[in-house]
Amino acid sequence: YVDSPGFGLAVEKTLTEAETSFGGTAGQSNAFDGYIVELNAPSVLAATQEAQKHIDELKKEAIVTPEKRMLVEQAEQQKLEREQQQQTVITDEQDRVRNRLRALKGFDIAGKAADVVVEDSFSLVINAVVADIPAEKVKEIEQLPEVKRVWPNYKVHAILDQSVPLI
């Protein structure tokens, strides 16, 4: 699940690998299901990283006093507020992009008119929408002001032939 915290550490590396290795590695095929459209606003986790570091530093201090506990509680509340603010920013940005994408028309393989369909969205680890986009519209979508980059959403499969012996 792309929007889970454990996925976040490997997402950038995985995306780079997906861009450079088309079907040559086990578990990845050339088949893809639409495109991932990454947006400019930072994800919720990226936006709150500094706040979490501050909370962690406060908790590490050896002497725990009522004042320190209050500081930690205030920092945690500020982090929560920042998460909520960032979620609102992301939702607004994703709504604008959805509307722009829905306005685009393209053609499918058979040459029939095809609409852009936004299938899913993510905000915790990555700020992105997943959309079924005609290939000829990708360059146009990359030029939208909210868009950071667009890449194919390759189908991948977990292969346990090398990890099972390690378990």
Q: Phi and psi of 12, rounded to 5°?
A: -65, -45
Nearest-angstrom CA–CA distance, 150 and 143: 10
Between 110 and 39, the higher pLDDT residue: 39
For the chain, percent of residues with pLDDT exceeding 90: 41
* pLDDT per position as a tens digit, 58-114: 888 766 778 888 888 999 999 999 999 999 999 999 999 998 888 886 655 555 656
Least confident window among 17-21, 80-84, 101-105, 131-135: 17-21
Confidence of residue 16 (pLDDT cuts 50, 70, 90): very low
Between 161 and 110, the higher pLDDT residue: 161
Which CB contacts under 8 angstroms, 24+ apart, belong to 88-96?
89/41, 90/39, 90/41, 90/43, 90/44, 90/123, 90/127, 91/123, 93/39, 93/40, 93/41, 93/127, 93/146, 94/39, 94/121, 94/123, 94/127, 94/129, 96/146
The answer on pLDDT for 141 being more than 60 is yes
Mean pLDDT along residues 46-56 = 90
Least confident window among 48-52, 65-69, 100-104, 160-164: 160-164
Nearest-angstrom CA–CA distance, 68 and 99: 47
The answer on pLDDT for 119 being more than 80 is yes
Report which residue type is found at 50: E
Distances (CA, A) of 121 to 76, 110, 161, 163: 26, 28, 31, 30
pTM score, whole prediction: 0.70
For the chain, percent of residues with pLDDT exceeding 70: 72
The confidence score (pLDDT) of residue 50 equals 87
The confidence score (pLDDT) of residue 112 equals 61
Confidence of residue 17 (pLDDT cuts 50, 70, 90): very low
The confidence score (pLDDT) of residue 111 equals 56
